[in-house]
Amino acid sequence: MPAKRSLDAFFTPTQKKLRLEESSKPKSNHPTYPYPIPELPPTLVESLGFVPAVDGKPINDQPDLDLLYYQPYIPKDAEKDLFHFLRRELFFYRVQYKIKRGPTETNINTPRYTTVFGIDETSKFLPYGSIVDTTTNKPVPADRYKSKPRPIPACLDFLRTITENTTGYTYNFCLVNYYASGDDSISYHSDDERFLGPDPAIASFSLGAKRDFLMKHKPPNPSEKVETSQSEPKPLKLPLASGDMILMHGKTQANWLHSIPKRKGGESGKGRINITFRKAMVKYGTDNYYQYNCGTGNPYKWDEKEEEMVVWDGKDIS
Ligand SMILES: O=C(O)CCC(=O)C(=O)O
Ligand SMILES: [Fe+2]
């Protein structure tokens, strides 16, 4: 002990000691990550052993609609901690891209933070993070993918495993959205890309601020429009709360659109995380997901002091 250190200082943990404790926490790492992502704390793992908190309620009383709504899925004692853990530890992107319709090019600013992990069924990660072809088990050529795929970190992989057990489906992708406020949104779309295969199952988690999830039937194809006795499909509004999970499966994606509209009032001043698990069947799915959810910009990280996402400058990571 240095001669001048006071007794007080002796009992106060030093900066060095804190750093050491921090660095000894188990973390997931990969060359594609801007920084390592801690594993879930044991208390959270324990609470997540009790999922689903309640049974899913089927919503299938409308044409082509097949939902299971868990209200909630994440136990009440875990939902807040999981939200704060993921917001603090994950990195996100604010993706910009151009779309071309005929001669006009439009710049799109994705109105939320996004990130993605996973790889399609034609490849798989080995435990140390290298990628092999699923059928040959041989390393994939370096140029197989446009962006380097990222393995699902342990904290999200744990959630994936419990979700697979509950829903009976398997998933190879994890997409994460962060809506910083009521100004962030996702417009009407369906997750019906061909690379997901027919009738894809999508498990979608909500954490943090309550936001409305709107659903409406796709407009009928004029050539298919026939008079039937079936009643007109009615739009739906599900008030997704922290810890809720909604499984969309069957004919849902082929026939229904969903969105999280911008909102004012309510919990619009607070952030919300959405996590979806999906299964991409072919290489194009991997290219597409990284292009639109990571892009080419800098990562953002949650700043506990500023209470906002800030561009991560590669420093000051404990
Ligand atoms: O935030 C949500 O609940 C929905 C997100 C969504 O639809 C998507 O990422 O495809
Ligand atoms: Fe979606």
**204 close to ligand 1 (CB < 6 Angstrom):** yes
Nearest CA to ligand 1 atom 10: 191
Give 177 Cα–ligand 1 centroid separation in angstroms.
Answer: 7
Give 253 Cα–ligand 2 centroid separation in angstroms.
Answer: 9
For the chain, the structural domain boundaries read 28-95+109-220+234-311
Least confident span in 10-14, 280-284, 313-317: 10-14
20: pLDDT strictly greater than 90: no
**274 close to ligand 1 (CB < 6 Angstrom):** yes
Q: What is the value of pTM for the model shown?
A: 0.92
SS3 per-residue string spanning the chain = CCCCCCHHHHHCCCHHHHHHHHHCCCEECCCCCCCCEECCCHHHHHHHHHCCCCCCEEECCCCCCCEEEECCCCCHHHHHHHHHHHHHHCEEECCEEEEEECCEEEEEECCCEEEEEECCCCEEECCCCCEEECCCCCECCCCCCCCCCCCCCHHHHHHHHHHHHHHCCCCCEEEEEEECCCCCCEEEECCCCHHHCCCCCEEEEEEECCEEEEEEECCCCHHHCCCCCCCCCCCEEEEECCCCEEEECCCHHHHEEEEECCCCCCCCCCCEEEEEEECCCCHHHHHHHHHHHCCCCCCEEEECCCCEEEECCCCCCC
Mean pLDDT for the stretch of residues 195-224: 94
Domain 28-95+109-220+234-311, CATH number (from 3.50.50.60, 2.60.120.590, 3.30.470.20, 2.40.10.170): 2.60.120.590
Mean pLDDT for the stretch of residues 145-155: 98
pLDDT score for 316: 53
Mean confidence (pLDDT) of the chain: 92
Instruction: Give the pLDDT band of residue 1 (cuts 50, 70, 90).
Output: very low
Q: Is the ipTM above a cut-off of 0.95? A: yes
Ion ligand 2 residue ranges (Cβ < 5 Å): 191
